[in-house]
Structure 1
Amino acid sequence: MPASVFLLGPGFIGGEIIGLLLISKYKVTTLVRRESAVADYANLGVETVVGNLDDASVIKAQVTVSDIVLHTATADHLPSVQAIIHGIRERAAQGLRTIYIHNSGATLLSDTAEGEYKSDTIFDDEKPEGINALPDSASHRLVDLEILRAGQELASHAKMAIMIPPLIYGVTNRENRLSIQLPTLVRYSIKHGYAGQVGKGLAVWNQIHVKDHARGYMVLLHWLECASVTDTALNPYFFCENVQELSWGECAAKIGRTLTEIGRIDEATPKPIPKENWGDLFGDYSGMVVGSNARHRANRLRKLGWAPLEKDTLASLAEDEIPIIARETGEFTGYASVVAS
Structure 2
Amino acid sequence: MAEIRLLLTGATGFIGGSVLSGLLGSQNDTIKKLKISALVRREEQAPDLKARGVEPILFSDLDDSEAIRRAAREHDVVINTASGYHVGAAKALVQGLGDRKKDTGKEVFFIHTSGTSNLGDYPVTGKYHENRVFSDEEDIYGYEKSREAVDPYPQRTTDVVIIDTAREVGIKTYIIMSPTIYGVGSGFFNKLSIQIPLLTKVATAQKQSIVIGNGDAVWNHVHIADLVDLYVLFVEKLLSGADIPSNEKGIYFSETGEQSWREVSEGVAKAGFALGALNTADVKSVSVEEAAKLFGVDAQLAELGFASNSRTKSILAHKMLGWSPKRTKDDFFATFETEFKIIYEAK
TM-score when scaled to structure 1?
0.88
- Give 1:293's aligned amino acid: N
Does the alignment pair 1:125 with 2:140?
A: no
Q: 1:84–1:20: structure 2 CA closer, same or farther, 3 Å change rule?
A: same
**How far off its partner does 1:115 sit?**
8.9
**How far off its partner does 1:40 sit?**
0.8
**Percent same amino acid among aligned pairs?**
29
**How far off its partner does 1:279 sit?**
1.4
Q: 1:97–1:277: structure 2 CA closer, same or farther, 3 Å change rule?
A: closer
Q: 1:152–1:131: structure 2 CA closer, same or farther, 3 Å change rule?
A: same
Out of 40-49 and 54-63, give the one that drifted further.
54-63
Q: Distance in 1 between matches of 2:92 and 2:129?
A: 39
More helix by share: 2
**How far off its partner does 1:29 sit?**
0.2
Q: CA RMSD in A?
A: 2.2
Aligned with 1:182: secondary structure?
Answer: helix
Aligned with 1:207: secondary structure?
Answer: strand
Does the alignment pair 1:38 with 2:51?
A: no
**How far off its partner does 1:131 sit?**
4.5
Aligned with 2:304: secondary structure?
Answer: helix
Q: Distance in 2 between matches of 1:46 and 1:144?
A: 28
Question: Can you list the C-alpha shifts for 1:303-322, whole angstroms capped at 9, x where unaligned?
Answer: 1211212353211122x201
| 294, 297, 305: which one aligns with 2:310 | 294
Q: Distance in 2 between matches of 1:72 and 1:277?
A: 26
| 238, 247, 270: which one aligns with 1:224 | 238
- Give 1:99's aligned amino acid: F
Q: Please tell me whether the aligned partners of residues 136 and 251 of structure 2 are also in contact (alpha carbons under 8 angstroms).
A: yes
Match for residue 342 of structure 2? Answer: 324
**How far off its partner does 1:277 sit?**
5.2
Q: 1:277–1:142: structure 2 CA closer, same or farther, 3 Å change rule?
A: closer
Q: Please tell me whether the aligned partners of residues 219 and 301 of structure 1 are also in contact (alpha carbons under 8 angstroms).
A: no
Match for residue 108 of structure 1? Answer: 118
Aligned with 2:232: secondary structure?
Answer: helix
Q: Distance in 2 between matches of 1:81 and 1:307?
A: 28
Aligned with 1:86: secondary structure?
Answer: helix
- Give 1:221's aligned amino acid: V
Match for residue 203 of structure 1? Answer: 217
Q: Please tell me whether the aligned partners of residues 109 and 172 of structure 2 are also in contact (alpha carbons under 8 angstroms).
A: yes
TM-score when scaled to structure 2?
0.87
Q: Please tell me whether the aligned partners of residues 115 and 200 of structure 1 are also in contact (alpha carbons under 8 angstroms).
A: no
Q: Distance in 2 between matches of 1:38 and 1:188?
A: 32
Does the alignment pair 1:88 with 2:104?
A: no
Q: Distance in 2 between matches of 1:146 and 1:6?
A: 20
| 54, 59, 64: which one aligns with 1:55 | 64
Q: Please tell me whether the aligned partners of residues 80 and 111 of structure 2 are also in contact (alpha carbons under 8 angstroms).
A: yes
Q: Please tell me whether the aligned partners of residues 110 and 288 of structure 1 are also in contact (alpha carbons under 8 angstroms).
A: yes
**How far off its partner does 1:190 sit?**
1.4
Unaligned runs of 5+ in 1: 330-341
Aligned with 1:208: secondary structure?
Answer: strand
- Number of residue pairs matched by the alignment: 324
Q: Distance in 2 between matches of 1:258 and 1:118?
A: 31
Question: Can you list the C-alpha shifts for 1:48-80, whole angstroms capped at 9, x where unaligned?
Answer: 110122222222222112110011000111121
**How far off its partner does 1:41 sit?**
0.5
Q: Distance in 1 between matches of 2:228 and 2:129?
A: 28
Q: Please tell me whether the aligned partners of residues 5 and 69 of structure 1 are also in contact (alpha carbons under 8 angstroms).
A: yes
Does the alignment pair 1:193 with 2:210?
A: no
